[in-house]
Structure 1
Amino acid sequence: MTPEAALLRVIHCLDRALASPYKTRAFVGALDVVRAIDPVELAERARDGRLIELDGIGDATAGVITEALAGLTPSYLAKVEAESQIELTDAGRPYLDALRGDCHLHSTWSDGGAPIEAMAATAIDLGHEYMVLTDHSARLTVAHGLNEERLREQLVEIDRINDEIAAAGHDFRILTGMEVDIFEDGSLDLSDELLGELDVVVASVHSKLRMDADQMTRRMVAAVANPHVDILGHCTGRKVGKRPESQFDADYVFAACAQFGTAVEINCRPERLDPPRALIDLAIGYGCHFSIDSDAHATGQLEWQPYGCNRAAEREVPIDRIVNTWSADELLAWTES
């Protein structure tokens, strides 16, 4: 294992564990140093114990580099690898085995921490057949959301990367998409013309989460009724232990999802786990489709789908109603209909 590979794997595991961004940033900084320095100088500094003289290298990162150069598995890597493992229940296993892709994830084009190529490479390693790239829309400025011009540039980039993936012999493709903001009146943060060009559209509420329940209900129903919206993202907007659920009439919202063919996302982020169990039960009763999505913002977070699979199994979500258990062609036929 090279120092670069070891640092990349540490970053992956820290992201999988949802570690402090400050800790992750330290390893990202060290990775930049390793990529920039002459390999001979790096080896000499490791041999002489002078790595920490380099700006951006600390004790922990120096240890990883030194042990990797010595042909060892770095002890810090072994530690975070073990500590960041995600539990998958026996009941959740058939759900994870059935998943063929991930319909909600982000890249460095918005607020993600990894480029599209790295997210795709990890998805391939996980055995996925496809991923839907759903960077944020322009309204979410804090997330560096994409306006129409940048989205069109991204679509060209996705075509290029898909060509490279095919040339490398992988049976995998990146589907185009966006996590589009739902405005307060239920309209969407992208033109209908461009929404219609995307393969999969996830619509989510990111602002005014505490608005009146009646208004929130109308807002969400208007969005899921839009013919271009395929998945309702993290419907309550909650952060476990930090932010309460938005208030809305779930009967109306899930009835609308069933009527208009919009899937309810089971968001796998451990700080979201959204919807709560009672709302999953309600959505099942209305005959809704579901999508078990990582909402990953880094490569390690693509491994979060077991969280959603465990919960789906616990609530007995019908597997045939989970849209990302379908092939890419089946998924696209459903979104186009």
Structure 2
Amino acid sequence: MILTYLADIHTHSIASGHGTSCTISDMAKEAGRKGMKLLGITDHGPGTLASGTSSYFRGLPFCPRKRFGVEVLYGVELNILDIQGHVDLSDELLSNLDYAIISMHGQNYRSGTVKENTLAYQNAMKYPAVKVLGHCDNPAFPVDYDALAYTASRENVIFEINEVSLTPGGYRGDTRANNAEILRCCLKYQLPIVLSSDSHGKEHVGDFTYAAEFVHQTGFPESLILNNQIPRLKVFLQTR
């Protein structure tokens, strides 16, 4: 039996562009309707076309922390820009957000060798706000998962298992082998993971249908999945 999970910390509102018209309140209302307890809003950084500006991220810390009975965290999905691990939001703005996800997107980062891509992630992990490696299962950006997991365990960063990546017919292609390797390495280093919907809009908030099925089929231990361990998840995100 696959559990129902209570937290989703990788979601996007209208501020990320991509055609969605859902506000943060729309997202929280849907999360509350589904019985969720914790929602993380992680709109794309300014490097993404039509996404949130610096002013948007500056204002997020002043937004309500509780909406429709759901606790809301305010973060960002940063774009990795180069092998040096530079990202598209300033240290000042990052320090005032709850956490950051780091991801590679083709419009901002030109994929290199396995060694180069791995180094880019490792360098980006050194920002204190960075807590989650976003969809690094993408075959377009090959990496050394063992090296990433080792660094993540040292830097207090975790992997996500991304619902969009594992949805059949998804635009990232077949990511199952990469996700299996992520889970193997996380188990090796006893590194927790988080299931992420990566929902753009309210429709898929808290939807881990394929991600949860995949993780449980591999026998990955529930004790290392943080979505239902909300106090532990919040402490983890707040540790800099």
Q: Same fold (TM over 0.5)?
A: yes
Which letter maps to 2:197?
Answer: S
CA 1:331–1:282: 2 relative to 1, 3 Å: closer
- Paired with 1:297 and 1:102, the residues of 2 have a C-alpha distance of 12
TM-superposed CA distance for 1:303, in Å, is 4.8
CA 1:303–1:129: 2 relative to 1, 3 Å: closer
- Paired with 1:221 and 1:303, the residues of 2 have a C-alpha distance of 28
1:257 paired to 2:152: yes
Number of the residue aligned with 2:38: 130
Which letter maps to 1:137?
Answer: G
TM-superposed CA distance for 1:246, in Å, is 1.8
- Paired with 1:245 and 1:128, the residues of 2 have a C-alpha distance of 33
1:182 paired to 2:80: yes
Q: Do the aligned residues in 2 keep the contact of 1:132 with 1:200 (CA within 8 Å)?
A: no
TM-superposition CA deviations, 1:30-74 (whole Å, max 9, x none): xxxxxxxxxxxxxxxxxxxxxxxxxxxxxxxxxxxxxxxxxxxxx
More strand by share: 2
Which of structures 1 and 2 has the bigger CA Rg? Answer: 1
CA 1:209–1:126: 2 relative to 1, 3 Å: farther
Q: How does 1:34-53 map to 2 (within 5 A)?
A: none
**Helix, strand or coil for the counterpart of 1:225?**
coil
**Helix, strand or coil for the counterpart of 1:317?**
coil
The aligned length equals 226
Candidates 116, 120, 141, aligned match of 1:219: 120
- Paired with 1:311 and 1:209, the residues of 2 have a C-alpha distance of 29
Number of the residue aligned with 1:153: 59
Higher relative contact order (CA 8 A, sep 6+): 2
Q: Do the aligned residues in 2 keep the contact of 1:319 with 1:325 (CA within 8 Å)?
A: no
TM-superposed CA distance for 1:218, in Å, is 0.8
Q: Do the aligned residues in 2 keep the contact of 1:261 with 1:289 (CA within 8 Å)?
A: no
1:204 paired to 2:80: no
Q: What's the TM-score, normalizing by structure 2?
A: 0.86
- Paired with 2:61 and 2:115, the residues of 1 have a C-alpha distance of 37
CA 1:188–1:199: 2 relative to 1, 3 Å: same
- Paired with 1:190 and 1:323, the residues of 2 have a C-alpha distance of 26
**Helix, strand or coil for the counterpart of 2:207?**
helix
TM-superposition CA deviations, 1:154-180 (whole Å, max 9, x none): 443x32xx46x3xxxx43221110101
- Paired with 1:253 and 1:134, the residues of 2 have a C-alpha distance of 22
**Helix, strand or coil for the counterpart of 2:16?**
coil
Which letter maps to 1:100?
Answer: L
Consecutive unaligned residues in structure 1, runs of 5 or more: 1-89, 238-243
- Paired with 1:316 and 1:195, the residues of 2 have a C-alpha distance of 35
Q: Do the aligned residues in 1 keep the contact of 2:60 with 2:97 (CA within 8 Å)?
A: no
- Paired with 2:16 and 2:238, the residues of 1 have a C-alpha distance of 26
**Helix, strand or coil for the counterpart of 2:40?**
strand
- Paired with 2:218 and 2:125, the residues of 1 have a C-alpha distance of 23
Candidates 302, 311, 335, aligned match of 2:214: 311
- Percent identity over the alignment is 24
TM-superposed CA distance for 1:209, in Å, is 5.1
Q: Bigger CA drift: 204-213 or 287-296?
A: 204-213
- Paired with 2:193 and 2:213, the residues of 1 have a C-alpha distance of 14
Q: What's the TM-score, normalizing by structure 1?
A: 0.62
More helix by share: 1
**Helix, strand or coil for the counterpart of 2:81?**
coil
Which letter maps to 2:204?
Answer: Q
Which letter maps to 1:333?
Answer: V
RMSD in angstroms over aligned alpha carbons? 2.0
Q: How does 1:1-337 map to 2 (within 5 A)?
A: 90=1, 93-94=2-3, 97=4, 99-111=5-17, 113=20, 114-141=22-49, 144-156=50-62, 158-159=63-64, 162=65, 165=67, 170-184=68-82, 185-207=84-106, 208=109, 210-237=111-138, 244-269=139-164, 270=167, 271=170, 272=172, 275-327=178-230, 329-337=231-239
- Paired with 1:291 and 1:181, the residues of 2 have a C-alpha distance of 19
TM-superposed CA distance for 1:301, in Å, is 1.6
